[in-house]
Structure formats: structure tokens, C-alpha cells
């Protein structure tokens, strides 16, 4: 009995030292350039290095990692965490996701341009929307909306306002086919969707395309299947893959346009953000048209409309402004919470590193640590240890970790 009580006491002491450590370090990463396994080992090794030097329980290192997490999502998490528990040091490895994950961007633009009038669109059903979009794509140029859209995009593309924009990609408008029916067997669609993605992950692209096309022919109303087919084209990376993918995403939007969670809206966003040239004008043409008929558009559609340019540099500058706005809020939160803020550079040669480095140089209460470049998915223990040792030395060198 005495042994049991001693064991329980020791366990309570251990847990207390971990939870109520003298210092706390929170590491946040979006897991894009390194795997979740990498991040887990990285934090474990950093904890071991600190324990060896400062003793167990002196500093508690924790992590929050999520694939494709952008700065707005990071800020939302910090808003909750900081209200629950003080963090002595926050290490952030975020920002690159903002260039293709536009969650929160529409809200940022609305706040920035809050003096602009809010336009409420007319709401229509899917058949009305498809009919209106068919007129838009099949117009001879007499439609006022077509002239407006054509003038805007031809001006952007340098074609002059005297010509009507002619998109390269035209949707199939499955909703308007006589055999179109709405299928409500959602669970069966989920199973089909999972089977398709297993083929895609195994790089069996031809099989995936054949499988998905046959299912779409039978069940043309299930938007997620169009998303999977479009994703197959993008991952296959064949000639003209982005045009085929865009048609899939547009078709998928049109069969379920009023669903804000329709994955094909995300597909439009990905093509718009990741590609250059005229295909972005195609995305804008489609987005501008369909937004006329939806009262409450999806966030992806709102974000595309808010950026509203095919100029790649202008698009990236707009995203950079959004990132800087978010990290400025993070800096202010860290300042008021007396939290050390450290930006850890991605182990890759990407623009976000320079953006965060320059921000840290010109801001108080924010630091930047450049990481060495690593090969894709290099999960070797030596590489992970080297990165953990580098941040450990950085924390000591900047007197964030100080022995009593």
C-alpha cells in the first residue's frame, strides 16, 4: 500500500511538473514543407535538449500542427489559447498556406474596404443559375452582363474593351440535361469518393478518371466526385491538366451552387491561386457570373472576387498584405501577453521566409530564425535533431531560455 501511494505521489509530481512548468513554449506549424512525424520528433527533441540542460519540468514544450493552416487560422487558435493559459514563447512556422488557402481573406478584405457598399445578390435555384450561366457562355455579345465581364477581363488581359472575353473552358451544364436527377444517397457517394482517392494516392490516375467519369454519368449531382476528378487531373500534371480540372470544378459548382461547403469552390480557389496566365481570367469570368445569382456565396468565391485580378504579382502582393495584417495582430497579442514571438523559417526556398524575416527586423517583440534547407520529406533523425538544436541555440542565444 505504501509503495502504491509513493508511486501515485511521484506520478502526480511528474504530471504537475509537466503541466505547471516554470516556462512554456508553444510551437505552431502548418505541416506543409515537413510531415507531421517530422514536427512531432522536432518538438520531442527540443524538449529533450531543454530537459538535459535545465532539468525536467523547467520548461514545457507543446505543439499544434495542422496541414494547410494559414495565419488567420493560427490567429484564431491563439485567441482561444492565450485566454486559457499564458505562453512564455510562441514559435510560428506559418504563412505559406495563405497563398492557396484563402480562409479568412474575404473577412479581411471586407474589414479593409468596409466603406464600400454591400451588394446583395438575387437568389435563384440551381436550374435558374445554370440557365443564366448557359446564356452567359453562349452569348453572342448582346448580353449586358457579358459585355461588362468581357470588357473588364479583356482590359485586364490587355485585349482592349472593344472585344468580348471568350473563355477557353466551358462547363457541361449537366443540370440542364434531361436525364439529370438529384441523388441523395450521400453515404454511398462518400464511399465512392474514398475509393477514388485511394486510386489517386496510388497514382493510378487513368483508373481514377475512368472510375469517376462512369459514376458521374450515373450520379451527376454529387459535387465531390467532380472535385476528385479535377484533383486527379491536377495531380497527374499532363498537358492541359489545369483546363480539364477547371471544367470539372465548374461543373461541380453548377450541380450544387448554393452549398457553401461544395469542395469544387475550393478547386476554383486552388487553380486561381496556383496558376498564372489566362486560366485565372477563366476562373474570374466564371466567379463573376455565378456570384450574380447567389445571395450567400462560399468563402472561396468571395475571396476570388475580392482579389479580382489576373496579374500574378498584384495577387501575391494582396496576399502578402493579408499575411502582414495577421502577424501584426499576433505580434500585438504577444506584446500584451508578455510572450516571446519567434518566426521559424521554412526549410525551403520560398517567398514567405523573406516576408517574415523583414517583418521581424522592423518590429519589436518579434524575432526570426532562418532554418537550413532540407530535401522534401527528409525525416531522418539527424536532420530533425539539427533543426531542433538550431532553435534551441537560438532560444538560448536570445536569452529566451535562461538558467536561474
CA 256 to chain centroid, in Å, comes to 22
Q: Mark whether 75 and 192 lie in a shared domain.
A: no
CB 266 within 8 A of CB 295: no
Instruction: Determine which helix (DSSP H) or strand (DSSP E) holds 51, and give its type and residue range.
Output: helix 36-54
Q: Mark whether 182 and 130 lie in a shared domain.
A: yes
User: Torsion angle of alpha carbons 158, 161, 164, 168, nearest 10°?
Assistant: 10
Helix (H, G, I), strand (E, B) or coil at 89: strand
Expressed in percent and rounded to 5, the helix, strand and coil fractions of the chain are 60, 5, 35
Domain that holds residue 90: 22-101+317-397
Residue 9 lies in a domain: no
Q: Record the cell numbers describing residue 129, joined without a space.
A: 443559375
Q: Mark whether 163 and 198 lie in a shared domain.
A: yes
Residue 1 lies in a domain: no
Q: Record the cell numbers describing residue 387, joined without a space.
A: 533543426
For the chain, residues with pLDDT lower than 50 are 1-21, 140
Last residue of a domain, one of 296, 328, 344: 296
Q: Mark whether 127 and 254 lie in a shared domain.
A: yes
**Domain total in the chain:** 2
Residue 48 lies in a domain: yes
Nearest to 111 by CA among 357, 381, 392, 322: 322
Residue with cell 475512368: 210
Q: Mark whether 132 and 238 lie in a shared domain.
A: yes
CB 360 within 8 A of CB 343: yes
pTM, rounded to two decimals: 0.84
Measured CA to CA, the distance from residue 350 to residue 347 in angstroms comes to: 9
Q: Mark whether 291 and 339 lie in a shared domain.
A: no
Residue 267 lies in a domain: yes
Measured CA to CA, the distance from residue 41 to residue 37 in angstroms comes to: 6
Mind listing the pLDDT tens digit for each residue in 333-387?
999 999 999 999 998 888 899 999 999 999 888 999 999 887 655 668 888 999 9
CATH number of the domain at 69, please: 3.40.50.1110
Which DSSP state fits 163? Answer: S
- DSSP state letters, 212-256: HHHHHHH-TT-HHHHHHHHHHHHHHT-TTHHHHHHHHHHHHHHHS
Q: Mark whether 137 and 277 lie in a shared domain.
A: yes
Q: Mark whether 90 and 154 lie in a shared domain.
A: no
pLDDT of residue 249: 98
Residue 107 lies in a domain: no
Last residue of a domain, one of 266, 296, 326: 296
Measured CA to CA, the distance from residue 93 to residue 345 in angstroms comes to: 6
Residue 161 lies in a domain: yes
Measured CA to CA, the distance from residue 166 to residue 140 in angstroms comes to: 10
Residue 210 to residues 52, 150, 179, 200: CA-CA distances in angstroms? 56, 35, 20, 12
Measured CA to CA, the distance from residue 400 to residue 391 in angstroms comes to: 11
pLDDT of residue 149: 64
Q: Mark whether 154 and 53 lie in a shared domain.
A: no
Q: Mark whether 86 and 135 lie in a shared domain.
A: no
Instruction: Determine which helix (DSSP H) or strand (DSSP E) holds 63, and give its type and residue range.
Output: strand 59-65
Instruction: Determine which helix (DSSP H) or strand (DSSP E) holds 59, and give its type and residue range.
Output: strand 59-65
Q: Work out the mean pLDDT of the chain and round it to a whole number.
A: 86
Measured CA to CA, the distance from residue 233 to residue 252 in angstroms comes to: 14
Q: Mark whether 58 and 192 lie in a shared domain.
A: no
Residue 181 to residues 131, 210, 221, 292, 307: CA-CA distances in angstroms? 16, 21, 7, 25, 35
CB 140 within 8 A of CB 134: no
Residue 281 lies in a domain: yes
Residue 79 lies in a domain: yes
Contacts of 151 (CB under 8 A, 6+ apart): 161, 164, 165
Q: Mark whether 143 and 232 lie in a shared domain.
A: yes
How many residues does the structure list for the chain? Answer: 404
Q: Record the cell numbers describing residue 6, joined without a space.
A: 509513493
| Helix 223-236 vs helix 241-255: crossing angle, to nearest 10 | 170
Last residue of a domain, one of 234, 262, 296: 296
CB 171 within 8 A of CB 250: yes
Amino acid at each position: 500500500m505504501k509503495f502504491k501511494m509513493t508511486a501515485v505521489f511521484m506520478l502526480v509530481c511528474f504530471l504537475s511538473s509537466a503541466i505547471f512548468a516554470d516556462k512554456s513554449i508553444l510551437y505552431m506549424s502548418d505541416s506543409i514543407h515537413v510531415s507531421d512525424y517530422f514536427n512531432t520528433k522536432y518538438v520531442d527533441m527540443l524538449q529533450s535538449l531543454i530537459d538535459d540542460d535545465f532539468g525536467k519540468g523547467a520548461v514545457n514544450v507543446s505543439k499544434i500542427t495542422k496541414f494547410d493552416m494559414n495565419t488567420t487560422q493560427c490567429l484564431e487558435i491563439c485567441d482561444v489559447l492565450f485566454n486559457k493559459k499564458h505562453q512564455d514563447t510562441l514559435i510560428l512556422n506559418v504563412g505559406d498556406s495563405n497563398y492557396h488557402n484563402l480562409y479568412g481573406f474575404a473577412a479581411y478584405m471586407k474589414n479593409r474596404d468596409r466603406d464600400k457598399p454591400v451588394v446583395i445578390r438575387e437568389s435563384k435555384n440551381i436550374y435558374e443559375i445554370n440557365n443564366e450561366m448557359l446564356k452567359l457562355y453562349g452569348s453572342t455579345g448582346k448580353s449586358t452582363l457579358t459585355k461588362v465581364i468581357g470588357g473588364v477581363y479583356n482590359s485586364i488581359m490587355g485585349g482592349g474593351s472593344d472585344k468580348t472575353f471568350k473563355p477557353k473552358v466551358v462547363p457541361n451544364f449537366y443540370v440542364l440535361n434531361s436525364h439529370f436527377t438529384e441523388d441523395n444517397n450521400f453515404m454511398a457517394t462518400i464511399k465512392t469518393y474514398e475509393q477514388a482517392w485511394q486510386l489517386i494516392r496510388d497514382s493510378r490516375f487513368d483508373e481514377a478518371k475512368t472510375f469517376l467519369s462512369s459514376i458521374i454519368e450515373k450520379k451527376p449531382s454529387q459535387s465531390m466526385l467532380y472535385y476528385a476528378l479535377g484533383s486527379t487531373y491536377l495531380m497527374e500534371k499532363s498537358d492541359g491538366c489545369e483546363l480539364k480540372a477547371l471544367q470539372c470544378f465548374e461543373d461541380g459548382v453548377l450541380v450544387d451552387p448554393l452549398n457553401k461547403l461544395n469542395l469544387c469552390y475550393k478547386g476554383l480557389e486552388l487553380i486561381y491561386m496556383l496558376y498564372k496566365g489566362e486560366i485565372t481570367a477563366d476562373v474570374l469570368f466564371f466567379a463573376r457570373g455565378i456570384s450574380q445569382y447567389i445571395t450567400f456565396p462560399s468563402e472561396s468565391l468571395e475571396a476570388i472576387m475580392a482579389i479580382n485580378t489576373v496579374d500574378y504579382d498584384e495577387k501575391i502582393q494582396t496576399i502578402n498584405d493579408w499575411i502582414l495584417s495577421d502577424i501584426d495582430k499576433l505580434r500585438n497579442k504577444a506584446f500584451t501577453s508578455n510572450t516571446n514571438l519567434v518566426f521559424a523559417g521554412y526549410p525551403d526556398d520560398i517567398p514567405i521566409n523573406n516576408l517574415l524575416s523583414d517583418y521581424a527586423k522592423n518590429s519589436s517583440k518579434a524575432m526570426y530564425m532562418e532554418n537550413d534547407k532540407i530535401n522534401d520529406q527528409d525525416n531522418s533523425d539527424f536532420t530533425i535533431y539539427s533543426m531542433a538544436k538550431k532553435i534551441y541555440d537560438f532560444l538560448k542565444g536570445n536569452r529566451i531560455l535562461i538558467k536561474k
